[in-house]
Amino acid sequence: MRRTAEGLDDPGVRPAARRHAVPRAAGPAAGLGALVLIAFMASLAIPGTFRLGPVNLTVYRLVLIAACIPLGLRWIRGGAGPVSAVDLIYLANCLWISIALVMVHGLSRIIYVGTNFIELFGAYLVGRVLVRDAATHRTFVRCMAGLLLLFAPFALIEALTGQRLFDQVFGTFMSVQDRSADAPRLGFIRAAVAFSHPIHFGLFGSVVFANLYFLLWRRREIVRTGAAAFVAVTTMLSISSSALFSLVLQVAMIVWERGLGFLRNRWAIGLAIGAGFLLVLLASVQGGLFTYIVENLIFSPGAGEHRMEIYQYGTREVLRHPLFGVGLNDWARPFWREHPTIDSFWMMTAIRSGIPAVTLLVLAVLLGMLQIGSARGLDEDGRQYRTGYMIALAGLVLVLSTVHVWGPAVVFVMCYLGAGSWFYTSDHRPARPGPARMRREREAARRGGAAAGDGDDGHPGGQPGGRPGNRRGNRERIVRSGPVGYERGPGRRHGSKAVGGAGRGPRGAVGPEAGPGLRKRV
C-alpha cells in the first residue's frame, strides 16, 4: 500500500480509508475551543462559592456564564454539526425543570432557575460544541485523567489523615462546605478532594477508567493496564460501593470486548446474556436481589437500607406530584430519617421536577446511546474511543441510580453526556489542509521525488542501461484535494492516461475541469 508524504493512505489505493477518517481539529477556532474546554475542566477542581449580590457563584459557573451564549449560537447555526433530536430532548428536559420550579415556587426562585439552567444545558453545550472530533475527544479525556492525577496525592492524604487540603487552601478566600462530621469507613476517611461528596469523586474517577484505557489503545497492554489500575486505586479512595460496582461492570465489559472482538454482534449477545443472568438472580435470590446487595455487598448496610426507604417513599411522593414535583420543598419521608438526602439522581429528578422531567432525561440518554452505537464512518481511533465512552457511560448510569449529584458533579455529568454527540453528528471526512500545511507537503513530495531519482540498479534516471528516464514523472505527488484515482503529473503520457496540459485547475475539480497536470492511473 502506497502512502503520501503525510502518512495518509493513497486515495487511489484506499478510498474507503479517506472517506472514514475522523476529521482533525485545525485552525484558530479549534485552538480556542480547546482552551475553553481545558479552562472549564480546570474550573471543576476549584471548590467553594462566593456571592456577587444576590447570586451565589462558583468558578465553573462563571466559565459557563461567559461561554453559554457563544456556544449556544454556534450550536444553533450548525457550527457543531446539525441539531439532533437528542439535543432537543435535553433542551426540553432543562426547560421543563425550569418551568416546574416556577410553577411550584413562583418567581421567588427565579435566580436559581436561571443558574440551574446554565449549569445543566450550558454544561451540555460545552461537551456538545467543543468536543467535535477525535482530537478534541483526546483533549477531553486527557483533561479528566490530568485532574485525577492532580487529585490522587490529595485524596491519599485525605483518606489517611482526614486533612482536606483543597478545602483549607480555597477556604481562605471562598466559602467551602464543612465536611468535618463525615464518619470513617473501613478505618479510612472517604476522600472527596474538590467535590461536594466522596461519592462524586468516585463517580468522576469511574468515568475516567474506561475512557483512558481505550484512549491508550495503541500502547502496549502493560501501559494500558497500569494506567487503568492507577485510576481504579485512586477512585477507590472515595470508599464508595457505587464506584466499585461501576469499575467491576467496566472491567467485565472491557474483558468482553477484548476477548470477543471478532464477533460482530458481541454486544447484542452480551446484553442478552446479562438480561438472562439478571432474571435468574431475581428469581433465585431469597428476599430479593436488592435486599441481598444491601445486606452482603455494599460497604454500609445502613446506607443500603436508607436507599430502600428512598425508593419506597420517593415513589409515593412522585405519584402525589406527578407533573411538576415538589420543587425545592421537603419531601415526605419516614420520621426517623432526618436528612432529606435522596440517593438516586433519577429519583431526585422525578421528585423535584415531575415525571416528564425524568422521562425526557432517560429518553435522551437512551437515544444518545443508540445513536452513538449505530454511528458509521469512524476510523479505528473513533471506534476505540466510542467503545471507551460507551462503557464508561454504562458505569455512569449505574452510579447515578445510587446517588444524587449536584455542584461540579452534575455539571461534569451533563458535559460528558454532550461530549458523546460527535460520534454521530460530525462529518467524518478529513479536513482540507491549510496553505502552510500544503506547502510543507509539496516540499516533502519534492524531497521524496529527488531521492527516488536513481533506480535500484544504480543507473541514473531510474532506468536500466543509463537511459535518462523521466525525472519529472518520478516526482509526481498525490493531490489530496482531487478526486480518488487522479494524481498530479507533468501532463505527459508516462504509464497513465493524460488529462489536460500544463496548467493548474480548480481545487477538487473532477475530470477535464480538474485542469492540466491531472491524469488518471491505468
Residue 416: pLDDT band with limits 50, 70, 90: very high
The better pLDDT of the pair 216, 56 is held by 216
CA distances, 76 to each of 9, 69, 87, 336, 429 (Å)? 35, 10, 10, 49, 22
Domain membership of residue 133 (yes or no) is yes
The better pLDDT of the pair 23, 451 is held by 451
> Residue 73 has which C-alpha cell?
449560537
Residue 467: pLDDT band with limits 50, 70, 90: very low
Domain membership of residue 306 (yes or no) is yes
Which three-class secondary structure state does DSSP give residue 486?
strand
- HSE-up (13 A, CA, CB side) for residue 279: 6
Same domain (yes/no): 120, 204: yes
Same domain (yes/no): 162, 229: yes
What's the average model confidence in pLDDT over 261-288?
78
Same domain (yes/no): 303, 222: yes
> Residue 194 has which C-alpha cell?
474538590
Residue 289: pLDDT band with limits 50, 70, 90: low
Length of the chain: 522
* pLDDT score, position 231: 96
pTM of the model: 0.75
Of 425, 440, 456, the last residue of a domain is: 425
Same domain (yes/no): 228, 100: yes
Domain membership of residue 456 (yes or no) is no
Closest residue by Cα to residue 419 from 144, 126, 220, 186: 126
Of 399, 425, 451, the last residue of a domain is: 425
Domain membership of residue 340 (yes or no) is yes
Alpha-helical regions (H) of 421-501:
422-425, 435-451, 471-474
Backbone angles phi, psi at 245, to 5 degrees: -60, -40
Domain membership of residue 343 (yes or no) is yes
Number of domains within the chain: 2
Domain membership of residue 70 (yes or no) is yes
Is residue 174 predicted with pLDDT exceeding 90? no
Domain membership of residue 27 (yes or no) is no
Which three-class secondary structure state does DSSP give residue 109?
coil
Q: Containing H/E element for 52? A: strand 50-52
Same domain (yes/no): 161, 216: yes
Of 369, 402, 425, the last residue of a domain is: 425
What's the average model confidence in pLDDT over 283-295?
64
* pLDDT score, position 303: 63
* pLDDT score, position 293: 64
* pLDDT score, position 491: 44
Cα–Cα distance for residue pair 306/241, rounded to 1 Å: 14
Domain membership of residue 265 (yes or no) is yes
Residue 262: which residues within 8 A CB-CB, separation 6 or more?
A: none
* pLDDT score, position 339: 72
Residue 298: pLDDT band with limits 50, 70, 90: low
* pLDDT score, position 336: 73
Residue 481: which residues within 8 A CB-CB, separation 6 or more?
A: 432, 507, 508
Closest residue by Cα to residue 290 from 405, 404, 395, 401: 401
Cβ(426)–Cβ(133) under 8 Å? yes
Q: What amino acid occupies position 443? A: E
Same domain (yes/no): 418, 493: no
Q: pLDDT for 130-165, tens place per residue? A: 999 999 999 999 999 999 999 999 999 999 988 888
Residue 439 DSSP label: H
Same domain (yes/no): 375, 510: no
* pLDDT score, position 205: 95
Same domain (yes/no): 322, 399: yes
| Mean pLDDT computed over every residue of the chain | 79
Same domain (yes/no): 68, 200: yes
Same domain (yes/no): 405, 510: no
Instruction: State which residues form the domain around 222.
Output: 33-425
* pLDDT score, position 294: 59
* pLDDT score, position 391: 96
Same domain (yes/no): 340, 479: no
Same domain (yes/no): 204, 100: yes
Mean pLDDT lowest among 6-10, 247-251, 357-361, 492-496: 6-10
Residue 462: pLDDT band with limits 50, 70, 90: very low
